[in-house]
Amino acid sequence: MERIQLKPRQGWQQQFEQLGFTYHSIDDLYWDERYAYRFTSDQIDHLESVTEELHQMALQAVGQVVREGSYEKFAIPEPFWKKIEDSWLAGEFSLYGRFDLSWNGSGEPKLLEYNADTPTGLVESSVAQWYWLQDVFPQHDQFNSLHEKLIAQWQKISAGKPVHFAGISASEEDWGNLSYLRDTAMQAGLRTVQLDMADIGLNADTATFVDQDNQPIQRLFKLYPWEWMCREGFGPALLQTKMQCIEPAWKMLLSNKAILPLLWEMFPNHPNLLAASFDQWRISGDYVKKPLYSREGDNISLYQGSQILRTEGQYGAEGYVYQQLAPLPFYDDGITPAFACIGSWIVGDQAAGIGIREDATLITKDTSRFIPHFFTE
């Protein structure tokens, strides 16, 4: 995994805006093609294999929680436990997820967390870096089959009922990701509607959620966390409605950091896992303190020797887990030194590509830059 310096293309901003990647320069610099990461085909094969193995392990963990009814440590409201169980036993459709990994190209990738409910970074991981590759390294390849696999996964559900796509329209990044996913669903032959979460209403008499035209929502793809929905005013109605949610309720378990200690308990000393526990004293050496619910690197505390690195945010009330520290690989060219985190995508049950984020610190945040990649034989 080699970081190389490049000259940015002329007019790349206009190209991306035409592709719907309008948030390419949030916080002044988000997409950053001054650099790229080069892998070998063997490294990519290994990432693909590890991603699919981690996914299968995660599914086994959900099965164990459901069998044992051990929901308490996930801080999920008790009325939703049965919804999770019913969702899992019914085999409800899941579209995608993203594993965040620490890896420098040698040894074993280590799982930092699983973004299983509302992962973003799709447009840049899929179409943006693919167009970059065609312009810059057309002779090489890229670990990137996201677009094709998303379409194929959507084709596994029936085309009869429309799919409503809902998110926060005030967030340009969220709305861009939502629009992209809607486009893949339309390419799969599905009828779609897009709306803001705030425009979803409830017919209390029939326990039916409706859109802005008062039409019933039968299938909802929501780029909006389950843990928020559970605790909001309309939350209890989710327990009565027949509306299908994508991602399904069982993903509440995988998007929760409590899954990390469970995975370590089920697969102790697995080469791709880090020691994790609800008790700090069980983790030897440097460690990271993570809230059960946390997004974009908020409320993380990293303890490395005598140094402590913290981020602020709104999370932590539900509790924390502790995880052995696996420092991200550091690259220093004397111009823009950075730590790199690999986001490895899963669509359905298949690995589908990677996106790489860089930050000046060991904690990857919403302001971290996105760096394209390619691989050679």
pLDDT at 84: 98
pTM here is 0.96
Amino acid sitting at position 121 = G
pLDDT at 377: 86
pLDDT at 26: 87
Q: Are 248 and 92 in contact (CB under 8 A)?
A: yes
Query: Residues 265-274, buried b or exposed e (16+ Cβ, 10 A)?
Result: eebeebebbb
pLDDT at 367: 84
Q: Are 134 and 144 in contact (CB under 8 A)?
A: no
Residue at 26 is within a domain? no
Domain that holds residue 361: 2-21+35-256+330-376
Q: Are 97 and 345 in contact (CB under 8 A)?
A: yes
Proportion of the chain in helix, strand, coil states, percent, rounded to 5: 30, 25, 40
Q: Show the low-confidence residues of the chain (pLDDT under 50).
A: none
Q: Are 128 and 21 in contact (CB under 8 A)?
A: yes
Amino acid sitting at position 316 = G
pLDDT at 372: 98
* Number of structural domains the chain divides into: 1
> 27-78 pLDDT, tens per residue?
889 999 999 999 999 999 999 999 999 999 999 999 999 999 999 999 999 9
Residue at 29 is within a domain? no
Tokens representing residue 358 in the block: 């860089």
Of 117, 135, 164, 105, the C-alpha closest to 292 is 117
Q: Are 26 and 60 in contact (CB under 8 A)?
A: no
Residue at 59 is within a domain? yes
User: Can you tell me the distance from the alpha carbon of 261 to that of 140, in angstroms, rounded to the nearest whole number?
Assistant: 39
User: Can you tell me the distance from the alpha carbon of 359 to that of 341, in angstroms, rounded to the nearest whole number?
Assistant: 9
Residue at 316 is within a domain? no
Residue at 306 is within a domain? no
Q: Are 232 and 224 in contact (CB under 8 A)?
A: no
Cα-flanking dihedrals φ and ψ of residue 307, to 5°?
A: -95, 140
Residue at 166 is within a domain? yes
User: Can you tell me the distance from the alpha carbon of 171 to that of 196, in angstroms, rounded to the nearest whole number?
Assistant: 10
Residue at 293 is within a domain? no
Residue at 303 is within a domain? no
pLDDT at 294: 81
- Give CA angle at 42 (349, 332), nearest 5°: 105
Phi-psi label, residue 231: left if phi above 0, alpha if psi -120 to 50, beta otherwise: alpha
Of 271, 274, 340, the C-alpha closest to 46 is 271
Give the other-Cβ count within 10 Å of 281's Cβ: 7
Beta bridge partners of 322: 277, 289
pLDDT at 180: 97
Of 288, 328, 302, 355, the C-alpha closest to 103 is 328
